[in-house]
Amino acid sequence: MDSASNPYSPGAGRRPFELAARTALINDFDLLISRAAAGRTDRGIVLHGLHGVGKTVLLTEFRRRAEDAGFLVVSLEGRDAEGGPKAIRAKLARGLLQAGRKANSRRATPALAAALGTIASFAAGLQVSGIDVGVGARHGRGDSGAFAVDLEETVEDTAVALAERQSALILVVDEMQNLDAGLLSALLGAQHQASQRDWPFYLVAAGLPNLPSVLNQSQRYAEGLFTYRRVGALDREDSATALTAPAAEQGVSYDPEALDLLLNAAGGYPYFLQEYGSAAWESAPHQRISPDDARVAVEIGRAQLDQGFFPLRWRRSTKAEREFLRLMAVDGEGGSGTATLAARAGKKMTSMTMTRGSLIRKGIIYAPSLGQVSFTVPGMADYVRRVTA
Ligand SMILES: Nc1ncnc2c1ncn2[C@@H]1O[C@H](COP(=O)(O)OP(=O)(O)OP(=O)(O)O)[C@@H](O)[C@H]1O
Ligand SMILES: [Mg+2]
């Protein structure tokens, strides 16, 4: 069928036509919005899950809903941490300046103008200049030079000013497990103060399965600050909807056997559903996708994944890391014991600790429990076996 009308969207962060099976998560966020607008505080939200399950897409949806509610939204991405701690703090300051300026020009209040002054102090302390908010830096707020203190004062002044108008400050953080320790603990500190003192400030974050433990290691009280939600694969019925609904919109249907073949290949993972759906669309000559079309699509879809989704991680790993991944792949998708891996390699466990650590930092594996490691990338075990065979 015509590529131009292909309704599937394989690719990081790309909004699917059908945001299947995420109503409960979206309802959680809508509840946060309505509670905040009514002046009642709530916990922030932390989404965690494997690569390609749709976390970024959900954060984007949350962001849109918060903006529609008239909330002030600032976004950060842990991946920006590549530019170093300084760059990501500067990005936070710019985001606050930009959002604060917009809110104040829509509806100025004395409290918001004062908060803008604090934001300006905070930004100046981080050497961010060039965004004129029409208000000078405020002396004595957000300018102590101690980052955590300045962030907290900035959050306080902004959130308290927003509370007057039934609004809130939402900080959306993707890939949160990659933030540097100083920024992470300052953000958690600000969220902690906000929840104790009823400031409408919420961290709404997403990251890999290790994110909850990263947060707890940063601050022991982190567990109580958030509603934690695991984002996982879709069940068979929702996966089927993710494939059939976008097609039906254009009068295209699936033969049941074709649908089965594609669902088996995708294993419920949103990214894979988009990739195989897209390949089926490209492979089918007629409005009804046949089992033969689906068989071709499974081959093409897998080749696409083998050229993009998997090598994205594989290429970033060193020789020693690849060997570690190869040893893990023997155990399949279920994860491996580190003692088993060491025995398999014929090495001491301690000699593999560094490699394990660097793979965790790169977000390719995580530790689901003590002495265990698993892939963060669904299907990675099979891929590693294919590529090292
Ligand atoms: N609920 C859904 N139904 C169908 N497709 C979805 C759904 N959510 C996300 N997708 C699709 O899955 C793919 C991955 O989405 P996204 O980039 O949000 O995942 P992620 O969890 O952020 O992955 P990563 O951890 O690698 O950043 C995209 O192609 C997107 O269109
Ligand atoms: Mg993402």
- pLDDT tens-digit profile of 200-219? 999 999 999 999 999 999 99
Least confident of 38-42, 182-186, 326-330, 339-343: 38-42
Position of tokens 């014929």? 346
* Gyration radius (Cα) of the chain, Å: 23
pLDDT at residue number 157: 98
Q: How confident is the model at residue 358 (pLDDT cuts 50, 70, 90)?
A: very high
- Angstrom distance (rounded) from CA 174 to CA 59: 8
> Residue 258: is its pLDDT beyond 80?
yes
What is the percent of the chain where pLDDT is above 90? Answer: 92
- CB count within 10 Å of CB 93 equals 25
Q: How confident is the model at residue 106 (pLDDT cuts 50, 70, 90)?
A: confident
For residue 12, the ligand 1 atom closest to its alpha carbon is: 17
Secondary structure, 3-state, the chain:
CCHHHCCCCCCCCCCCCCCCCCHHHHHHHHHHHHHHHCCCCCCEEEEECCCCCCHHHHHHHHHHHHHHCCCEEEEEEHHHHHHHHHHHHHHHHHHHHHHHHHHHHHCCCHHHHHHHHHHHHHHHHCCCCCCCCCCCCCCCCCCCCCHHHHHHHHHHHHHHHHHCCCCCEEEEEECHHHCCHHHHHHHHHHHHHHHHHCCCEEEEEEECCCHHHHHHHHCCCHHHHEEEEECCCCCHHHHHHHHHHHHHCCCCEECHHHHHHHHHHHCCCHHHHHHHHHHHHHHCCCCEECHHHHHHHHHHHHHHHHHCCCHHHHCCCCHHHHHHHHHHHCCHHHCEEHHHHHHHHCCCHHHHHHHHHHHHHCCCEECCCCCEEEECCCCHHHHHHHHHC
pLDDT at residue number 82: 65
For residue 10, the ligand 1 atom closest to its alpha carbon is: 29
pLDDT at residue number 134: 85
In the reported structure, the alpha carbon of residue 253 is separated from the centroid of ligand 1 by a whole-number distance in angstroms of: 23
Q: How confident is the model at residue 323 (pLDDT cuts 50, 70, 90)?
A: very high
Q: Is the CB of 312 under 6 A from ligand 1?
A: no
Rounded to an integer, the average pLDDT of 329-347 is: 96
Structure-model confidence comparison of residues 83 and 307, the more confident one? 307
Q: Is the CB of 14 under 6 A from ligand 1?
A: yes
Q: What is the set of domains in the chain, with CATH numbers?
A: 23-230 (3.40.50.300), 234-307 (1.10.8), 318-388 (1.10.10.10)
- Angstrom distance (rounded) from CA 282 to CA 360: 36
Query: Contact at 8 Å (CB) between 120 and 113?
Result: no
Q: How far is CA 144 from each of CA 126, 152, 194, rounded to the nearest angstrom?
A: 11, 11, 20
Nearest CA to ligand 1 atom 27: 51
Nearest CA to ligand 1 atom 18: 54
Q: Is the CB of 13 under 6 A from ligand 1?
A: yes
pLDDT at residue number 372: 97
Q: How far is CA 221 from each of CA 43, 132, 183, 273, rounded to the nearest angstrom?
A: 12, 37, 16, 38
Rounded to an integer, the average pLDDT of 359-382 is: 96
In the reported structure, the alpha carbon of residue 362 is separated from the centroid of ligand 2 by a whole-number distance in angstroms of: 14
Of the ligands numbered here, which is closest to the C-alpha atom of 50?
Answer: 1
pLDDT at residue number 152: 98
Q: How confident is the model at residue 132 (pLDDT cuts 50, 70, 90)?
A: confident
Rounded to an integer, the average pLDDT of 56-69 is: 97
> Residue 347: is its pLDDT beyond 70?
yes
> Residue 80: is its pLDDT beyond 70?
no
Q: Is the CB of 16 under 6 A from ligand 1?
A: yes
Beta bridge partners of 76: 173
Q: Is the CB of 57 under 6 A from ligand 1?
A: yes
In the reported structure, the alpha carbon of residue 240 is separated from the centroid of ligand 2 by a whole-number distance in angstroms of: 22
In the reported structure, the alpha carbon of residue 282 is separated from the centroid of ligand 1 by a whole-number distance in angstroms of: 20
Q: Is the CB of 20 under 6 A from ligand 1?
A: yes
pLDDT at residue number 145: 96
Rounded to an integer, the average pLDDT of 338-352 is: 94
- Angstrom distance (rounded) from CA 62 to CA 22: 12
> Residue 81: is its pLDDT beyond 60?
no
Beta bridge partners of 373: 336
Nearest CA to ligand 1 atom 5: 270
- Angstrom distance (rounded) from CA 90 to CA 98: 12
Read off the pLDDT of residues 6-55 as tens digits, 9 standing for 90 and up: 999 999 999 999 898 999 999 999 999 999 999 998 899 999 999 999 99
